[in-house]
Amino acid sequence: MAFEITDSNFQKEVLDNEGVSVLDFWAEWCGPCRMISPIIEKLSTEYNGKVKVGKVNVDENQDISVNYGIRSIPTILIFKNGKEVKRHVGLTTQANLAQLIDAQLS
């Protein structure tokens, strides 16, 4: 299951993380966010132990959203060793996200 990333745990869970983190920026009222949510959950299971997969509710965690310029959701940010390395805005497939993640693991 994907971690809940908040303004208060973002530093520890993502920026201080040695390795790859994938964050799904979403909101309850967002239709495409609800469509991508099962994909994010599958990825969190598939990459368990290799990648930290988290969800950021933009309505509840505005500091992270503002700091990373999140203007449209869903937005997926991929971090490696605490630095943003890839960004995808909008709905996408599980295969596409897996390809983006795999590129950071090699």
* Tens digits of residue pLDDT in 62-100: 999 999 999 999 999 999 999 999 999 999 999 999 999
Q: Catalytic residue numbers?
A: 30, 33
The answer on pLDDT for 1 being more than 80 is: no
In which band, very low, low, confident or very high, does the pLDDT at 58 lie, cut at 50, 70 and 90?
very high
Distance separating alpha carbons of residues 44 and 27, to the nearest angstrom: 19
The answer on pLDDT for 105 being more than 90 is: yes
Q: How does DSSP classify residue 81?
A: T
Mean of pLDDT values over 45-68: 96
Q: How does DSSP classify residue 27?
A: -
Crossing angle of the two packed helices 31-46 and 94-105, in degrees rounded to 10: 50
Mean of pLDDT values over 47-76: 96
User: Structural domains in the chain?
Assistant: 3-105 (3.40.30.10)
In this predicted structure, which of 2-6, 30-34, 36-40, 72-76 has the lowest mean pLDDT? 2-6
At 96, list the tokens: 């596409």
pLDDT of 106 reads 82
CA 80-6-73 angle, to 5 degrees, is 75
